[in-house]
Structure formats: C-alpha cells, structure tokens
Amino acid sequence: MAIASSVPFNCHQGEREQARERIEEATPAASFHMDSSEFRRRGKEMVDYIADYLEGIEGRAVYPDVEPGYLRPLIPTAAPQEPDAYEDIIKDIEKIIMPGVTHWNSPFFFAYFPTANSYPSMLADMLCGAVSCVGFTWAASPACTELETVMMDWLGKMLKLPEAFLAGRAGEGGGVIQGSASEATLVALLAARTKVIRQLQAASPELTQAAIMEKLVAYTSDQAHSSVERAGLIGAVRFRTIPSDDNFSMRGSALQEALEQDKAAGLIPFFVVATLGTTPCCSFDNLLEVGPICNLEGMWLHIDAAYAGSAFICPEFRNLLNGVEFADSFNFNPHKWLLVNFDCSAMWVKKRTDLTGAFKLDPLYLKHNHQDSGLITDYRHWQIPLGRRFRSLKMWFVFRMYGVKGLQAHIRKHVALSHEFESLVRQDPRFEICTEVILGLVCFRLKGSNQLNETLLQKINSARKIHLVPCHLRDKFVLRFAVCSRTVESAHVQLAWEHIRELASVVLRAEKE
Ligand code: PLP
C-alpha cells in the first residue's frame, strides 16, 4: 500500500513500473508492521502489564538501586537499522527500564509532592494519543479547544473561583491548560511585563522598552518555588525576595516595606507571585493582606497553588483561597493532586486579553474564519509553544468518573493520613513537628543537630523501603513526609513510621557511641 501510493501518479505506465521496482529494491526485507489487529493484541497486553505494574507496585523498591550512567551500557549505541521485535522491547522494560524507575505511585513514596495517577486519566491519554491533534487554534481541532474551555470552567466552579475567572459564554476571563506551574508563572510574568511596558509607553512615548525593563521589579516570598525566580531570569526582570513571617507566610507589611524602598529608588514594581502551599512546608501567603496592596499599586498578582490548589474543591479548605479575587491570574496542578495524570496545569486569568494581547502574532497560515473572540478561543495566544495536546480529555474522564465527591474523598483521605502521621510523630518525644500540618505534608525532624537529621534521611533513602526528600526551614534541616500515592492507606503510613523510628534509634545510638 505505502509503496504504491509513493509512486509518482503523473507518469507513464512503464515509468511507474520502474519506480515501483526501485522502491521495492530499497525496501528492507524485514519491514515494520504493526497493523490494527496487532495493535489490538499488544494494546490489551499493555493494559494488563500496566494494571499488574500498579497492582504490584508495593512489591518493588520505591527508589532505584542504580548509579548514574547505568543505562547506556545496557542498550546499543545507535538505533537499529532493522526493526526490533516487539517481544524484545517488552522484555527490555523489566530488564533495563524498571530497575531505574523511581516509583512515584508506590504507597511507600512520600517525597516531593504527589504525581496524579488514575485509570480514567490513563485511558483518556490513550485516546489523546490516537487523535493526536495539535489544537493550537479553534479550527485546528474545535473539540480540543472547546472541551478545554468548558473543563476549565467546570474546575473553576469546583474551586468556587470568582466568576471573573470563568469563560462562561462570553466572559472576559477564562482558563487554559499549561504544561506546568513553571510555565504558568512565566506566562503571567511575560504578560504583566508587556502590560506595564505598554501602559508606561502610552503615558510617556519617549520611554524605550529597555529603559523600562531596567527598572521593573517583581516580588515573591523567600518560600516561593525556584521556578518563580527562574521566570524572572527568563523574562529578564529582577525578583526581590520578601522575608516570610514565623509561619513562613508572606505578609502585607513586609511587601509594603519593600515596595516603598524600591519606589523611592526609582524602580517600577509590577508583579507579585503569592504562593498557596509552599514547596518546603505547605505554608500560605496572606492573600487578604497582599492582594489589596497589589490592586492599589497596580501590580499584577499571580497565585501559585501548584500543590494545594486541588484541596480547594473541599469546602473545609476553600477558605485558604480567600483573597483570590484580588489576583490577575491563578494556577494549580491537577497533575499533582487531582488524579489527572501529568501534564495538566490549570491557569486562569481575569482578562484573557492580557494574554492574547501580549503574545498574539497572526501569520496567514494560522488564520481561520473564526478568529479569537468571546466564543472562539485560539489557545496558541495563551501559551509559549504553538502546539498543544488534547489534555482536557483527561480532565473530562476523571471529573465524570470520580465526580466532585470522589475527588473530595481522595483529598480528604490524604489529609487524614498526614494528620495520622503527625500524631504518630508527636507521640515520640525524640521528634518534633516543624510547621502546622494543614494538608497532606508533614515537616518533622529529630530534636537535635542538622547532621543527625541528614544521617537519618540518608539511612531512610538508602534502605529504599520508603522515599522522602528534605527541605531547609530557615537554618534547620527538615524531613518532609508528603502523602502521595492514590493507593496509600493507614497501614503504609504506620509501616513507614515504624521504619523511620527504627532507623532513628540506630542513628541516635551511633551518635552516643
Ligand atoms: N510551585 C510550587 C509551589 C511547587 O510546589 C512546584 C513543584 O512542586 C512548582 C511550582 C513547580 O511545578 P511544575 O513542575 O508544574 O512546574
């Protein structure tokens, strides 16, 4: 089939024969073939493999026992000239890949923050791969665009976001799926930068972009994720770090003080990133203080709630989002804690024109008859890349199959487990809890030196039964216990704690000797 169709169609019969022979000669003997019936068979096998993997994940060491560079010697130095057999590839998964995998979905994985994983989401991803449309404009795949807009409204309603953030039928705001919280922060920063430059140039046309950029200053707390500072590096604007208070929260007074100093020095404050659920200890910036200052000073307020945002679908945690009404943009990662597999980072803006106005270019080949309007969205204007996957399918499957109640139950289970761990730690006088436990993260440490805690963590991770990562809170080295896996139960938390206690005894004994 492929051969016949690649023979030029506008040549004579004799020439066609010769061309066909030339192509057949050039075609390797063992040509690749996975037709639809083979795909059906292999696909079913793969689904079984995945289900077995997830069902049996507890039996695998959560953290791999390999050294850097382990993989290269195990595979050929270049791609094969002739097709490999599918069976050989599958055999290599267990031989080469799995030994080097950190099992983020293991119920003994308590590191970083969770990565979302659910069967409905994986099924939707299969379909996304099959459709493989590139939905940069509405016309490039109307369902891809329209489902995304509606899913972002659904999710916004789950969080009880102010109406201004929703697209509705012809709202000024709306949501977009970005690949990551880092991208969302960068997009917000670039949009805010363009907006302030245009405003200042409208008032003083003699000002050059370079002269303005030199004076721009953005703010975030000392607890913000490194991706915030990185957005500043990429966007070529300076970030000033605001010292957080004793609860690791950015307060209005500290921000105001920095603003006054910078304005007095002739700088132009234009952008603030507030974090809800910081990476080190899940603390919350004080939006009710910071928000009004941003509005009064005409600064763009972006909220990064990468992890914690999912919890706001529960009424008992929604108060943590109070003050979002002051923000220009808000972002969190359903791919962390809302059972939608990576990648799916939900970002809303109050004024879609702030994004589309900043990033719009319209070459002829991307124009269509239904240009970006209240009803029609061209998401290419809302993001950095042009291409985009049909990611809203994952949200649609997950939201429909779990329902809001199912998703709330997932969040509540994790929060209950983190409190269970907290109370276990509190019962052991050798340990201390370092910050208030609000969601699914517990920061704890052995009372004693940083060295002691570093040794304990090193022992925990080299035993490979559970996996944790540390953080620094001021000058203290702290262990983070994040409830992560969809399948984690109380029994796993209890086992993890027993293990930590045993290793702590070893470390403390060694310290005395
Ligand atoms: N912001 C916060 C508060 C985070 O905790 C994280 C990651 O854990 C990020 C941003 C970065 O997220 P992403 O990997 O989606 O860029």
Query: Could you report the per-residue pLDDT of 241-271, keeping only the tens digit for each?
Result: 999 999 999 999 999 999 999 999 999 999 9
Each residue of 213-246: b (16+ CB within 10 Å) or e? bebbbbbbbebbbebbbebbeebebbbbebebee
Atom of ligand 1 nearest to the CA of 184: 16
pLDDT at 135: 83
Tell me the C-alpha distance between 432 and 447, whole Å.
6
What are 440's two structure tokens?
A: 């699914």
User: First and final CA of the chain: distance in angstroms?
Assistant: 77
What are 426's two structure tokens?
A: 């509190």
pTM: 0.91
d(CA 226, ligand 1 centre) in Å: 8
pLDDT at 8: 47
- Mean pLDDT, the chain, integer: 92
Side-chain-facing half-sphere of 474: CA atoms under 13 Å? 9
Angle at 340 between CA 337 and CA 345, to 5 degrees: 75
Each residue of 72-111: b (16+ CB within 10 Å) or e? eeeeeeeeeeeeeeeeeeeeeeeeeeeeebebbbbbbbbb
Tell me which H or E stretch contains 258. Answer: helix 252-264
Residue numbers in the chain where pLDDT is lower than 50: 1-9
List pocket residues of ligand 1, CB cut-off 6 Å.
113, 180-182, 225, 227, 275, 278-279, 304, 306-307, 333, 345
Ligand 1, from 225, 229, 304, 384: best to mutate by most atoms within 8 Å of Cβ? 225
pLDDT at 98: 97
Do strands 469-473 and 431-433 pair parallel, antiparallel, or not at all (unpaired)? unpaired
Ligand 1, from 307, 310, 439, 443: best to mutate by most atoms within 8 Å of Cβ? 307
Alpha-helical segments (H) within 13-96:
13-26, 36-55, 86-92
- Sign of the CA dihedral 33, 37, 43, 46? negative
Residues in the chain: 513
pLDDT at 14: 65
Atom of ligand 1 nearest to the CA of 112: 8
Tell me the C-alpha distance between 386 and 454, whole Å.
44
Atom of ligand 1 nearest to the CA of 277: 3
Atom of ligand 1 nearest to the CA of 307: 5
Ligand 1, from 281, 331, 333, 345: best to mutate by most atoms within 8 Å of Cβ? 333
Cβ atoms of 232 and 218 within 8 Å: the answer is yes
d(CA 284, ligand 1 centre) in Å: 14
Do strands 345-349 and 469-473 pair parallel, antiparallel, or not at all (unpaired)? unpaired
pLDDT at 6: 44
pLDDT at 139: 84
Of 479, 444, 473, 474, the residue nearest 461 (C-alpha): 479
- 487-494: long-range contacts (C-beta < 8 A, 24 or more apart)? 487/54, 487/57, 487/105, 487/107, 488/107, 488/414, 488/417, 489/107, 489/417, 490/417, 490/420, 492/58, 492/107, 492/108, 493/417, 493/420, 493/421, 493/424, 494/424
